[in-house]
Chain A
């Protein structure tokens, strides 16, 4: 800020605080909703200040059978989500980093062909080719399995592209030096390339963890067994059942539990997250 105008400074902060309140309002209401009894959540106006039922709601949601009898307890769904998110993030990073390594550090026939194949086809989001992909997964017998939930989402153009960028910025002399030292390709990969890309891998992990955790349409189609439900997709089922027996306190508690892990990851690893985002998304 150039000028010293105290009034302007105060206005700036007021405006920013308003912005923060606006952005945070839905999350605040969710939190408040998760701290009251079911009955209280049906009276107008709904409360804007937390009640005292947080622990009760937490217990019945986290360990109980959710809002309708046949669904798995929320801890089970969160576990599923965690497994899925970790598999997607880990898998994407692993297969992207090795293909980027091949494309940048080797000269071999069809190199560019592979690159474009990865790049163009993976740009197609699951949503636009949902039916045929579902058929493939069904034919492979991967319905209701962690494999079915993750593998079709694991190939990644963005991660491949980002690791390619990272490798291109690593000085050529690193490789030359390593070759004079007698390091073969895999040795170079483990000893030099992986340690040098550590922060990029971590940044990518944050983004992909959130991507994996927040998957919705795909798990919705691919799971029929309630033991395989992820927490994000369970919200929709709860909303549907809310039309008969609206237990908004439980829904809000579930929503809160579904949001906390990714929000925690974003806020705790903010620096890496911002770096990952601004670098991956070009």
Chain B
């Protein structure tokens, strides 16, 4: 935590932390406290008067069918994105780990989606699945499947899952590959001498050995799907059709900026803050543990 020897206390350390602390206070602490404060208020439709209502906004959310649905939808979306992107990444990493020459070339070719902004990823997938001109609806017609995510909620959900997972494959791949490459060669060789073939080794050796990475990525991917996918949803579906892709982050934005329900939006913000702090705590706990070894 701290060096054994340190500089004597003076004004200097305060000056050094000042910029960060000031920005934190002005743009993080204050807004967060405002969000908490506003979550106890209800404003009338014209923004003329506000009333302090304690937990009424939260009670409303607690009983709100739409909010429940958004919650469940977000959970499903997160799990689907995590599962899809992690399993693809795991398989690709397992193969890349096998090749002696060229593993780094494959890595180079696989990591770039990380650099693509979520909203751009959304735009690309939207284009590929555009019901009128997109390449995939065109191909799907041949097998008799009608694609129109503007009308079909399940298809819309499927599309944002694919776009979000595509972007995240690169990240997961990097971590899986690094984890696999750090497994000592001798362990793999010992298993090979014991007669375990490549498939057997993958299931009984590599998979358990990378399980800490799997857990870590699960949390990271959940956080990503919860909070970093706004751009994808905004570009592809705007939460539609009929709210079928309205995930929580999108709902906060939508209710606040479009619906102008400040109290309700603030209450949702507070709930999301609690969620993100909980997720971070899990992630941090894992990290501290990992550091000890």
* Chain A contacts to B: CB under 8 angstroms: 1-3, 8-9, 12-13, 15-16, 19-20, 23-27, 29-30, 33, 41-46, 48, 94-96, 98-99, 101-109, 111, 114, 117-118, 120-125, 127-133, 135-137, 151-152, 154-155, 160, 167-168, 172, 175-176, 179, 184-186, 210, 213-214, 216-217, 221, 232-233, 235-236, 239, 248, 251-252, 255, 258-259, 262-263, 265-267, 270, 273-274, 277-278, 281-282
- Given known pairs A132-B35, A266-B114, the reply for A217 and B253 (CB within 8 Å) is yes
The 3 closest A-B pairs by CB, nearest first: A132-B31, A214-B117, A132-B34
B189 within 8 A of A: yes
Q: Is B157 an interface residue (CB 8 A)?
A: no
Verify if B133 is at the interface (C-beta below 8 Å from A): yes
* A102 adjacent to B17 (CB under 8 Å): yes
Q: Is the Cβ of B27 less than 8 Å from the Cβ of A151? A: yes
Q: How far, in angstroms, from A135 to B26 measured CA to CA in the complex? A: 11
A residues less than 8 Å from B170 (CB atoms): 23
Determine if A236 and B32 form an interchain contact, defined as CB atoms under 8 angstroms apart.
no
Most buried by B among A109, A248, A255: A255
Pick out which of these stretches binds chain A: B50-58, B60-68, B75-83, B105-113.
B105-113
Taking a contact as CB atoms under 8 Å apart, the answer to whether A128 and B13 are in contact is no
- Chain A nearest CB from B39 CB (Å) reads 10
Q: Does B24 contact A155, Cβ atoms closer than 8 Å?
A: yes
A248-B133 in contact given A122-B28, A128-B252, A131-B256 (Cβ < 8 Å) = yes
Chain B nearest CB, measured from A139 CB (Å): 10
| Complex Cα spacing A109 to B88, Å | 49
Residues of B1-44 at the interface with A, using a CB-CB cut-off of 8 Å, are 1-7, 9-10, 12-14, 16-17, 19-21, 23-24, 26-32, 34-35, 38
Q: Give A13 to B127 CA distance when docked, in angstroms.
A: 30
The answer to whether A217 and B230 have CB atoms under 8 Å apart is yes
In the bound complex, how far is the Cα of B118 from the Cα of A259, in angstroms? 11
CB-contact partner of B262 in A15, A27, A105, A131, under 8 A: A131
Among candidates A95, A233, A266, A274, residue contacting B23 with C-beta atoms closer than 8 Å: A95
CB neighbours (8 Å) of A151 from chain B are 23, 27
Q: Is B115 interfacial (CB-CB < 8 Å)?
A: yes
Tell me which residues across on chain B come within 8 A of A127, comparing CB atoms.
Answer: 227-228, 230, 249, 252-253, 272
Residues of A within 8 A of B3 (CB): 104-105, 167-168, 172, 175
B99 interface residue, CB < 8 Å from A?
yes
Q: How many residues of B contact A (CB 8 A)?
A: 104
Q: Which residues of B contact A252 (CB under 8 A)?
A: 127
Interface residues of B (CB under 8 A from A): 1-7, 9-10, 12-14, 16-17, 19-21, 23-24, 26-32, 34-35, 38, 88, 91-92, 95-96, 98-100, 102, 106-121, 123-128, 132-135, 138, 166, 169-171, 174-175, 178, 188-189, 192, 197-198, 216, 220, 227-228, 230-231, 234-235, 249, 252-253, 256-257, 262, 265-266, 269, 272-273, 276-277, 280, 283-284, 286-287, 290
- Beta-carbon contact of B124 and A30 below 8 Å: yes
Q: How close is A166's CB to chain B, nearest CB, in angstroms? A: 13
Bound Cα distance from A111 to B7, whole angstroms: 13
Min CB distance, B19 to chain A, in Å?
4
Contact partner, B106, options A20, A121, A210, A236, Cβ 8 Å = A20
Most B CB within 10 A of own CB, among A45, A121, A160, A263 = A121
Decide: A12 and B95 in contact? CB cutoff 8 A: yes
Are B2 and A23 closer than 8 Å at their CB atoms?
no
In the complex, chain B residues whose CB is within 8 Å of the CB of A99: 16-17, 19-21
A24 to B124: give the CA distance in the assembly, Å. 11
- Do A136 and B26 have beta carbons less than 8 Å apart? yes
